Amino acid sequence: MNFTEQKIFEYLKEKKIALLGFAKSNQAVAEFLDKININFQVRDKKICDSKIKFKNSKIEFIFGESYLENLDCDLIFRTPGIRPDLIKNKNLNKNLILLSEIEFFLKFCPTENLIAVTGSDGKSTTTSLIYELLKNSCENNKNNKNQKVFLGGNIGTPILPQINKISDKDFVVLELSSFQLITCDINPKIAVITNISENHLDWHKNFQEYINSKINIFKNQTRDNLLVTNFDCDILNNISKKSAGKKRFFSIKSKVSNGCCLDNQEYIIFCENNKNSRIIHKNEIKIPGRHNIENFMAAISACYDFINIKNIKYIASNFKNLAHRIEFVTEINGVRYYDDSIASTPNRVIKGAFSVFENNNIILIAGGYDKNLSFEKLAEEICDKIKILILIGQTAEKIKNCVQNCQNLKKPEIYIANSMQSAVNLAYENSLKNNIKIVLLSPACASFGMYSNFEERGNDFKNHVLNLKKIKNFKK
C-alpha cells in the first residue's frame, strides 16, 4: 500500500461498510476496498452477475427486494442512481456516513488542482476537452513534464482506482452529474457549469432540487477559486451570483468582459482585465455544431491559465467527437446515418443536432423513457426541420400528440416503431421513397425500458444500420 491507500485503510478498517447498488461506480469501490483488504457488504435490488474476482472471502452479497433490510452500518457507499433519502428514511445509525465513490475520492484526493464540470448538456465533451487541453500542455511544456492529468467521474471512468497514482501537483478533471452532486461536499479549484435546463425530473423531486444539486459544485468555493458559466443561460446568471469565487463566462451570443466570446469576424476571443486575445476562428473547431463552439469556449475559459494558443489549435483540429454525439455511422445509397443517442432531452436535440442539420430533408428517430419533460418546444422544431418522424419507446404517443397539436401548419409524416430494427428499416424505406439524405437518431429521451444506457441504444442503432448496409450491398 502507498501512503494514500494506507490513510484510507486506517479510516475504514474498524467500520461496518455497505455498498448500495452494484453498478460501475460501486464496482470500482468494491475492487479498491478488496485490494486494501477491507470487509464490506454488497447490496442491490437486482441480482448482479459481476465479473470481479475478489480475493477477500468475507465479502457478503445481498441481492433482491429485501436488499435494504437489516442495514446496520457505519458507512454506506451509495451508487449515484439511488436517492439519498431512500437510505436516510430507514432510521439508521445517527452517525451513519453516506458517501458516493466520487465523494470518497474527494475526501482523500492528494491534489488541490481539481477541475469539476457539470451541466444539463455538453458536460462530457467539455470535460474531455479540458482534459485534452491540459494533457497536451503538460506533455509539451518542459517545466510540466512530470505533471499528469487524470480524468473520471460521470464520464464513465471511476476515479477512485487511480487515486494511488495522483501526486499533489497533478490535475484531476471530473464530470459530475446531479445524482452525484446532490450529496457532494466539494471545493474545486475550478468549477464549470455548461448550462441548466429541465432534466431528470423522474428522479429529482422537482426542477429546483435539480438546480440545487448543480449549485453544490461551487457553493464551497472561496475567492481564490474560479467559476465558469454560460452567460447565455438565465438560470446560471442568477445562481452564479451566489458564488464567492472569481467568475468567467462564455457566450456565443453576447460580449463578455471575463471569459470567451466571438468577435465580429467569429473568432473566439478571451477577455480579461480589459484585454482581448484572439484565439481561433470557430471554423477551426473540427467537431460540428454551435453547441460544440460553446463547449470549446467553456474549456478554454476553465484552463486558460495553464495552456497556450498552440495547445488550443492542436486540440481544435484533432479532437474527435465522442461516440454517440452526432456520430457519422455510414452512408447507404446516398443517405447518411448519424448516431446522437446521447441526446436524452429535448433541449439537447434542439441545441445539438438541430443546429448542425439546418435543412428540413431529415428523418428523425426519437422517443424512449419518460423523464417528465415537456416536448412542446421540440415539437415546433420538429415541424420546422423534420420531414419524417419515427417514434419508439414509452414517449412515442406523447411526442406524436405534441407534434400533431403544434400550431405549425407544416407537419412531418409520423410512424411508430416497436423496436430499433423496425425504426431503422422504416427510415431506410422512407429515405428512398422521399429522396431524403439524412437519417438521425436523436431521441430527446432517456434509454431506460428498452436499453441500459444511451451507449447501448446508440450501438444497437449502429449495428442495425451497418447490418442493413451489408444486406443492401449483398443484394447488389
List the one residue out of 194, 458, 153 whose CA is nearest residue 326.
Answer: 458
Dist CA 164 CA 32 (whole Å): 10
Q: What is the DSSP letter of 369?
A: B
Specify the CATH number of the domain 3-99.
3.40.50.720
Total residue count of the chain as it appears in this document: 476
Residue 474: the pLDDT is 55
Residue 91: the pLDDT is 60
Residue 471: the pLDDT is 85
Residues 6 or more apart from 87 whose CB is under 8 A from it?
A: 20, 68, 71, 76, 78, 98
Q: Where are the domains of the chain?
A: 3-99, 109-318, 327-475
Residue 54: the pLDDT is 86
Whether residue 17 contacts residue 75, with contact meaning beta carbons closer than 8 Å, is answered with yes
Residue 55: the pLDDT is 83
Residue 143 burial (10 A CB sphere; 0-12, 13-18, 19+): exposed
Specify the CATH number of the domain 327-475.
3.90.190.20
Q: What is the pTM of this model?
A: 0.93
Domain 109-318: CATH superfamily, name plus number:
Mur-like, catalytic domain (3.40.1190.10)
- For residue 336, the surrounding DSSP H or E stretch is strand 335-339
Which residues on adjacent β-strands are paired with residue 103?
none
Predicted confidence pLDDT, tens digits, the chain (476 residues): 788 999 999 999 999 999 999 989 999 999 999 999 999 999 999 887 777 788 877 899 999 998 888 888 999 999 998 999 888 766 667 788 999 999 999 999 999 999 999 999 999 999 999 999 999 999 988 776 689 999 999 998 899 999 999 999 999 999 999 999 999 989 999 999 999 999 999 999 999 999 999 999 999 999 999 999 999 999 999 999 999 999 999 999 999 999 999 999 999 999 999 899 999 999 999 999 999 999 999 999 999 999 999 999 999 999 998 999 999 999 999 999 999 999 999 999 999 999 999 777 899 999 999 999 999 999 999 999 999 999 999 999 999 999 999 988 789 999 999 999 999 999 999 999 999 999 999 999 999 999 999 999 999 999 999 999 998 765 55
- For residue 330, the surrounding DSSP H or E stretch is strand 327-332
| Angle CA 257–258–262, to nearest 5 | 70
Residue 56: the pLDDT is 77
CB atoms within 10 A of CB 70: 7
Residue 337 burial (10 A CB sphere; 0-12, 13-18, 19+): buried
Q: What is the DSSP letter of 446?
A: B
Radius of gyration for the chain, computed over Cα atoms and rounded to the nearest angstrom: 24
